[in-house]
Amino acid sequence: MITRMSSLFLRTLREDPADAEVPSHRLLARGGYVRRVAPGGYSWLPLGLRVLRNIEQIVREEMDATGAQEIQFPALLPREPYEATNRWTEYGPNLFRLKDRKGADYLLGPTHEELFALTVKGEYSSYKDYPVTLYQIQTKYRDEARPRAGILRGREFVMKDSYSFDLDDEGLAASYQRHRDAYIRIFDRLGLNYVIVAATSGAMGGSASEEFLAVAPTGEDTFVRSTESGYAANVEAVTTPAPAEQPVDGRPDAQVHHTPNTPTIESLVDFLNGAGLGRVFTAADTLKNVLLKTRQPGEQDWTLLAVGLPGDREVDTKRLEAALEPAEVAMLEESDFARNPFLVKGYIGPGALLANGVRYLVDPRVVRGTAWVTGADKADHHVVDLLCGRDFTPDGTIEAAEVREGDPSPDGAGTLVAERGIEIGHIFQLGRKYADAFSLDALGPDSKPIRITMGSYGIGVSRLVAVIAEQSHDERGLIWPRQVAPADVHVVIAGKDETIVAGAEQLAAELDAAGLRVLLDDRKASPGVKFADAELVGVPTILVVGRGLANGVVEVKDRATGERVEVAVDIAVPHLVSLVRG
Q: Does 463 bind its own copies (CB under 8 A)?
A: no
According to the binding rule CB under 8 A, does residue 105 interact with its own copies? no
Q: What letter does residue 103 receive in the DSSP assignment? A: -
Least distance to its own copies from the beta carbon of 12, Å? 10
Residue 69 within binding range of its own copies, rule CB under 8 A: yes
Q: Applying CB under 8 A, does 93 fall inside the site for its own copies?
A: yes
Q: Cα separation of 367 and 397, whole Å?
A: 9
Q: What are the backbone dihedrals phi and psi of residue 290, each rounded to the nearest 5 degrees, phi first?
A: -100, 125
Q: Which stretch binds its own copies (CB under 8 A): 138-146, 307-315, 346-354, 364-372?
A: 138-146
Amino acid identity of residue 465, one-letter, is V
Q: Does 42 bind its own copies (CB under 8 A)?
A: yes
Q: Assess 28 for contact with its own copies (CB under 8 A).
A: no
∠ CA 436-441-443, rounded to 5°: 160
Q: By C-alpha distance, which of 401, 62, 403 is closest to 231?
A: 403
DSSP, collapsed to helix, strand or coil, labels residue 529 as: helix
Strands (DSSP E) along 272-323, which ranges? 287-295, 303-310
Nearer to its own copies, 163 or 223 (CB): 163
- Is residue 214 at the binding interface for its own copies, with CB under 8 A as the rule? no
Q: Are 165 and 452 in contact (CB under 8 A)?
A: yes
**Contacting residue, 16, 17, 21, 75, with its own copies by CB under 8 A:** 75
Of 212 and 434, which CB lies nearer to its own copies in the complex structure?
434
Please select the residue that binds its own copies; options are 82, 88, 91, 124, rule is CB under 8 A.
Answer: 124
- Judged by DSSP in three states, 134 sits in strand
CA distance 54 to 43: 17
Q: Which among 43-51, 210-218, 400-408, 494-502 is the span making contact with its own copies, rule CB under 8 A?
A: 43-51
Figure out which of the listed residues 61, 89, 98, 230 binds its own copies, where binding follows CB under 8 A. 98
- Among residues 27, 28, 29, 132, the one that binds its own copies under rule CB under 8 A: 132
User: Using the rule CB under 8 A, which residue among 96, 231, 372, 438 binds its own copies?
Assistant: 96
Q: Is residue 126 within the footprint of its own copies (CB under 8 A)?
A: no
511 belongs to the binding site for its own copies (CB under 8 A) = no
What's the rounded Cα separation, in Å, for the pair 326 and 334?
A: 25
The DSSP call for residue 40 is: T
Which of 2, 86, 106, 185 touches its own copies (CB under 8 A)? 106
Q: How many angstroms separate the CA atoms of 97 and 59, rounded? A: 29
Q: Is 72 in the site for its own copies (CB under 8 A)?
A: yes
Residue type, position 524, single letter: K
- Give the one residue of 71, 275, 355, 571 binding its own copies; rule: CB under 8 A: 71
Among 20, 22, 29, 45, binds its own copies (CB under 8 A): 45
Interface with its own copies includes 389 (CB under 8 A)? no
Total binding residues toward its own copies, as defined by CB under 8 A: 51
Q: Residue 9 or 338: which CB sits closer to its own copies?
A: 9
Number of CB atoms found within 10 A of residue 92's CB: 14
Closest CA to 517 of 3, 86, 42: 3
Q: How far is the CB of 120 from its own copies (least distance, A)?
A: 8
Contact status: 115 vs its own copies (CB under 8 A): yes
Question: Does 65 sit near its own copies (CB under 8 A)?
Answer: no
Identity of the amino acid at 439: S
Alpha helices for 91-239 (secondary structure H): 113-123, 169-189
Rounded to an integer, what distance in angstroms lies between the CA atom of residue 101 and that of residue 562?
58
Strand order in the sheet with 396-397: 328-331, 287-295, 303-310, 359-362, 396-397
Q: With contact defined as beta carbons under 8 Å apart, do 236 and 200 qualify? A: yes
Q: How far is the CB of 364 from its own copies (least distance, A)?
A: 36
The rounded distance, in Å, linking the Cα atoms of 462 and 153 is 10
Nearest distance from C-beta of residue 112 to its own copies, angstroms: 9
CB 269 within 8 A of CB 356: no
Binding its own copies (rule: CB under 8 A), the pick from 2, 16, 17, 49 is 49
Q: Is position 37 an interface residue for its own copies (rule: CB under 8 A)?
A: yes
Stretch 139-178: interaction string toward its own copies, x if CB under 8 A:
x-x-x-x---------xx----------------------
CB atoms within 10 A of CB 272: 22
Q: Taken in order 361, 362, 366, 372, is the CA torsion positive or negative? A: negative
Out of 5, 23, 44, 500, the only residue in the binding site for its own copies (CB under 8 A) is: 44
Does 18 bind its own copies (CB under 8 A)? Our answer is no
The span of 44-52, 228-236, 315-323, 563-571 binding its own copies (CB under 8 A) equals 44-52
Buried b (16+ CB within 10 A) or exposed e, 182-192: bbeebbebbeb
The reply to whether 314 sits near its own copies by the rule CB under 8 A is no
**108, 192, 465, 466: which one binds its own copies (CB under 8 A):** 108
Determine the interface stretch with its own copies among 100-108, 167-175, 236-244, 312-320 (rule: CB under 8 A).
100-108
Quote the CA–CA distance of 139 and 162 in Å, as a whole number: 13
97 contributes a contact to its own copies by CB under 8 A = yes
Cβ 25 vs Cβ 13: under 8 Å: no
Q: Is 73 in the site for its own copies (CB under 8 A)?
A: yes
Distances (CA, A) of 45 to 10, 40, 478: 7, 16, 16
From candidates 9, 279, 446, 475, binder to its own copies by CB under 8 A: 9
- Angle 163-169-174 from CA coordinates, rounded to 5°: 60
3-state secondary structure of 434: helix
In the complex, what is the shortest distance from the CB of residue 462 to its own copies, in angstroms, rounded to a whole number? Answer: 10
Distances in Å between the Cα of 84 and the Cα atoms of 295, 296, 362, 578 are 20, 16, 34, 56
Interaction between residue 552 and its own copies (CB under 8 A): no
What is the smallest separation between the CB atom of 19 and its own copies, expressed in angstroms? Answer: 14
Residue 14 sits in the site that holds its own copies (CB under 8 A): no
Instruction: Tell whether residue 347 is a contact of its own copies (CB under 8 A).
Output: no
Residues that bind its own copies (CB under 8 A): 7-11, 32, 35, 37-39, 41-46, 49, 52, 67, 69-78, 93-94, 96-98, 100-101, 106, 108, 115, 119, 122-124, 132, 134, 139, 141, 143, 145, 155-156
